[in-house]
Amino acid sequence: MAPPSAIQRVFYLPEILGMFCDELPRIRDLLSAALTSRTFCEPALDRLWRDIRSLDPIIACLPEDLWIRDESALSVLSLECNINTIVSAPDSQRLLAAIFTLCNPDTLERLYLSDNVNHVEHSEHRPLLERIDISGLFKFKKLTDLLVELTGGLWLTPDEVQQIPGAWPNLEFLQLDLTNRRVPRIDHKDVLNIVYKCRSLQTLQLPFDATEVEGAERNLSPGDGMTPALIYLDVGYSPILSPSRVIQLLTVHLPKLETISPHWNPRSELEDDEEHQYHDRWEFVGEHF
């Protein structure tokens, strides 16, 4: 068979094939084109996926054990969204609003949301006042795993943290705002409230202000004989003054804890002397706990 002429090769250009597919009026025509040959497959599929009216086609591509059909809401068991770029706080809020609206709180058990937050190395790149509100997630009572790491930052308040045990009583894994370098608005008392009341929580990755730790502070125990299940704690960029007092606190309240890990960039990339000090103090806690 003779090789195709220059004129014939023009009709194999993706742009030409795309223009042809744009003229097909019906979905079934595009589907037929996609099934006709490898030449038409990619441009036809591009056109099919360009305008979809619901999430159903995407959900249908997921493994069947991850979702259940429901007429009232998207009954997903596990949802992971890892955005390969830096997302602004308003866009992050819109993403969360879509999840609040579309996902079924009676079925969602695992939720992982992140963007390229680790690529934002300096705090001046983050707005000082903007924050992302995750309170809409409190209606998802069956969550066992939750990760939210977005560039805009959550900058959690004590009131929000107080609601976590009641909102997510079955938590086993929780990571919130780990890479945020703003001074946390929550402290060690808020963290202990979470680990004492979320009785299945084994992994906690959450920054908090540890500068006011006074020592063992046994009065913070609820007194019901319950021992927190926590075995892994990542403190992110948590401020700390006294490693010895923090060690006393953790020894008394978290006897099952095996690992304490500060989520720092390499020491050479830390911003100032204060961050260097925090880094070294948490390393001391991790080594001597």
Which of 53-57, 210-214, 272-276 is predicted with the least confidence, judged by mean pLDDT? 53-57
186 exposure class (CB count in 10 Å sphere: 0-12, 13-18, 19+): buried
Instruction: Identify the pLDDT of residue 120.
Output: 47
Sequence-distant (≥ 6) Cβ neighbours of residue 214 within 8 angstroms: 245
Percent over 90 (pLDDT), the chain:
39
pLDDT in tens, 46-92: 777 776 665 556 656 655 554 555 555 556 678 877 777 777 788 78
Contact 132, 96 (CB under 8 A): yes
Name the residue with higher pLDDT: 133 or 10.
Answer: 133
Q: pLDDT band at 10, cuts 50/70/90?
A: low
pLDDT band at 249 (very low <50, low <70, confident <90, very high): very high
Reply yes or no on whether the pLDDT at 245 is more than 60.
yes
Q: Decide which of 151 and 227 is more confident.
A: 227
Say whether pLDDT at 20 is over 80: no
Q: Are strands 78-82 and 75-76 parallel, antiparallel or unpaired?
A: unpaired
pLDDT, one tens digit per residue, over 82-124 is 777 777 788 788 888 878 877 888 888 999 988 876 544 444 4
Element (H, E) at 194: helix 188-197
Mean pLDDT rounded to a whole number for the chain: 81
pLDDT band for 266, please (50, 70, 90 cuts): low
Confidence at 125, pLDDT banded by 50, 70, 90: very low
Q: Looking at residues 2-23, what average pLDDT do you find?
A: 65
Residue 94: alpha-carbon gap to chain centroid: 15
pLDDT over threshold 50, residue 224: yes
pLDDT of residue 57: 65
Mean pLDDT of 222-238: 90
User: For the segment 130-188, what is each residue's pLDDT rounded down to a tens digit?
Assistant: 789 999 999 999 999 999 998 888 999 999 999 999 999 999 999 999 888 888 999 99
Q: What is the pLDDT of residue 197?
A: 95
Q: What is the pLDDT of residue 8?
A: 59
pLDDT of residue 123: 47
Query: Cα dihedral sign for 180, 185, 189, 194?
Result: negative
Query: By C-alpha distance, which of 205, 217, 214, 278 is closest to 244?
Result: 214
Q: Can you tell me the mean pLDDT for 29-50?
A: 75
Predicted confidence (pLDDT) at residue 232 exceeds the cutoff of 70: yes
> Lowest-pLDDT range, 118-122, 218-222, 253-257?
118-122
Task: For tokens 């019906």, name the residue.
Answer: 26
Distance of alpha carbon 143 from alpha carbon 136, whole angstroms: 13
pLDDT of residue 269: 54
